[in-house]
Amino acid sequence: MNICLIHMEVRNSVSENLKAASICILKAAENSPYLIALPEYFSVPGCLTNFDSAERISKSTSKPTFKFLSEISQEIPDIYLLGGTLLEEEGEKYYNTSTLWKNGALLGKYKKKNPIAGELQAGVAKGNRPVVIETQIAKIGLLVCADMFDPVLVKQITSLGAQILSLPVAAMGSHPAVKGHPLTEKVASENGVFVLKVGNVCSSTIGGRSAIIAPWGIIAEVTDTITDKIITADLDMNRLFEYRKTLNKQ
């Protein structure tokens, strides 16, 4: 099962970000992958340097981003699109929301359960419901960035049958430097899942380096690139099923 992650350079306007995402998605779609995935807050300008008001950011980015994801998913027929995240207003609250699309249809969404301190200060609310979506080949569990530090949530997601964990990330400037992917590799190996970690260029060295991680190790990883990059890998589902059998015997 071939998949593509879009490791993006975040631009200084919503329109520039959506244009860059469109170019990358259409390029990735040329090889007819099973799914394409975007980073956390991919349409929010400025690499979160001015992340001071969830209301302001939501009002300027949410509607155009939803519209973009619906339209671009129609342009890539029969390919699943993991839409990174956006700030969605619901019930006068603002959630960091991850979405899954296909053929222009929204198949499901998940509200980040564990917003970081900067998000909470800006007014981002906490979600509370784990989400796993069954696709034609695999079950995809939706997580966002710091959710990976929540072992109870991770266990809920895997207990619901997730075989792939979607993990859009966008490490803020206060995030400590991270070498490699120690946490995601541990989660992948202990739970028998693939992890699709999708970050952006400006957060590469502080935990936002994109990677495709299997229980047996890293399959693909972006370098410290300063431009948009598409990374691809073939997820061996049969090998995953065999690996999970060994977990059940332990």
- List, for residues 58-111, the tens digit of each pLDDT value: 999 999 999 999 999 999 999 999 999 999 999 999 999 999 999 999 999 999
Find out whether 222 and 209 touch, Cβ atoms under 8 Å: yes
pLDDT score recorded for residue 209: 85
Q: Quote the CA–CA distance of 209 and 227 in Å, as a whole number.
A: 13
User: All domains of the chain, ordered by start, with CATH?
Assistant: 2-249 (3.60.110.10)
Q: Estimate the share of the chain in helix, then strand, then coil, as percent rounded to the nearest 5.
A: 35, 30, 35
Distance of CA 38 to CAs 85, 123, 168, 205, Å? Answer: 8, 23, 7, 18
Mean pLDDT computed over every residue of the chain:
93
Q: Which residue has the higher pLDDT, 86 or 223?
A: 86
Residue 250's pLDDT band, with cuts at 50, 70 and 90, is low
Please say if the pLDDT value at position 248 is more than 80. no
Q: Which residues of 139-150 are buried (b: 16+ CB within 10 A; e: fewer)?
A: bbbbbbbbbbee
User: How far, in Å, CA of 214 to CA of 222, rounded?
Assistant: 15
- Reported as a pLDDT band with limits 50, 70 and 90, residue 174 is low
Residue 206's pLDDT is 62
| 173 pLDDT more than 80 | no
pTM > 0.75: yes or no: yes
